[in-house]
Amino acid sequence: MKAIRPRLRKVRILATLGPASSNADMIRDLYLAGADAFRLNMSHGSHEDHAANVAHIRALEKEYGRPTTILADLQGPKLRVGTFRDGSVELKVGATFVLDRDDTPGDVHRVALPHPEIHAALLPETRLLLDDGKIVLRVKSCGDGRIETRVEVGGTLSNRKGVNVPDVVVPMAALTEKDRRDLGFALTLGVDWVALSFVQRPEDLAEARRLMGGYGALMAKIEKPSAVQRLEEILEVADGVMVARGDLGVELPPEAVPPLQKHIVASARKLGRPVVVATQMLESMIKAPTPTRAEVSDVATAVYDGADAIMLSAETAAGDWPREAVAMMDSIARSVEGDPGYLDRLHFTETKPDATTADALAEASNSITRTANASAIVCFTSSGSTVRRVARERPTAPILALTPRADTARKMGLLWGVHAVRTKDIGSFEEMIGKARRMALRHKAAVAGDKIIVLAGVPFGTPGSTNVLHVATIRGDELKGRDE
């Protein structure tokens, strides 16, 4: 097993795999450049491609001895118009344009919209956004499989372009048949997180949760205005959320997205749900070896806001500079986290503890860390719930999460400030303190003479029983013990 220094960077980096990065050597390069987790985009690639990537990641995990997180991102429903007789049409502002259920190739007057759910949901004066919002239609009337619209923003519309419906909740399940097949396959691969697209309401998560059967963690992608309106409810039932700014930026005015991003990040942090900021973070690095200054500021803003993870999409999946994109994101994050005012900015968001012993101890660990200048917080955990509570506080010290369960260690790879280690369980208080000291030294989270905070639950190995907080001092002879 190769030794690799633990990353003390707090924010996690999630890298998407694709044609530019679907081989063992490139995945290793991305990992060594700073990728903490990998995303499988189920919208692209075959099941065989994804299985090969998972095998590469798990081999890398074994090689370096560090639990590595894999997220499978489901495609969700894709709403599209039909085809045109000449391949495309030019829609003029003010013209009438009809969308119907007739599969006959369209023209400048009409085209098929083969989604009965949209026909059922629309009302007069609601909008339809076509081709990523480049064309805007306003509904004049609808009924009997026919939607008559007025063109508000015109342009060229070609075959099978996408349709967004921002003003209403579309009565459509978040999971398609393809998604169900992909989800079942992803679970057989042992992925750690599943991201669900097209979430409009908390109920949309129920089927995916049932199909997952208690395995893995479920992330809701916030990409529709209807999801934003019910954000608190969605956060209550999801294990984490992703700010999917691509679709949000289509269905909402561009200037509305930055404050929404801050709102989603702050809301997720208050409930202790990991939050990923995604889409176009270093977009220019798809083709260029360096980002724009605006992109650097965008990434930095997400880090300052306290996002748990920041994501690269096409930059690593299909770009010309995948390893450079990861290295740049890592460099930006480290620079922000080195800012003396970074932690003060993080705590602009107040995270009030629930009236539980575990929450009280998590809050206390943050306070004691500051007062006693502790070098690390060591959490013994079975389910990961204690670690999530501690990470929510955004403490000054790194969080070393010790767990006997591989699945728990991997799921924690999207949590802010957490370095997860799989190790044997403990059976006594003395063993707990000794192991905490040794692991803090071994993983470079502390040196001899440092203080560490230790959190655990008694009886040991019982999920959700955190009730012990202990301050320990590292001795110089701690590494004589062995841990696996």
Catalytic residues: 39, 80, 221, 279
Selection from 33, 20, 38, 6 nearest residue 327 by Cα? 33
For residue 177, give the H/E element and its range. helix 177-189
Give the Cα separation of 346 and 393 in Å (integer). Answer: 9
Give the Cα separation of 202 and 244 in Å (integer). Answer: 17
- Sign for the CA dihedral angle at 155, 157, 162, 163 comes to positive
Give the Cα separation of 298 and 302 in Å (integer). Answer: 7
Dump the DSSP string for 398-450: -EEEEES-HHHHHHGGGSTTEEEEE-----SHHHHHHHHHHHHHHTTS--TT-
127 touches 166 (CB < 8 A): yes
332 touches 296 (CB < 8 A): yes
Give the Cα separation of 80 and 245 in Å (integer). Answer: 20
312 touches 284 (CB < 8 A): no
Under DSSP, is residue 340 helix (H, G, I), strand (E, B) or coil?
A: coil
109 touches 150 (CB < 8 A): no
DSSP 205: G
Give the Cα separation of 307 and 103 in Å (integer). Answer: 45
Give the Cα separation of 364 and 371 in Å (integer). Answer: 10
Whole-Å CA distances, 473 to 28, 373, 447, 468:
36, 12, 10, 16
Token output for 196: 């669900």
Any residues with CB less than 8 A from the CB of 294 and at least 6 apart, and which?
A: none
68 touches 410 (CB < 8 A): yes
The β-bridge relationship of strands 240-244 and 275-278 is parallel
Dump the DSSP string for 279-310: SSTTGGGGTSSS--HHHHHHHHHHHHTT-SEE
For residue 32, give the H/E element and its range. helix 24-33
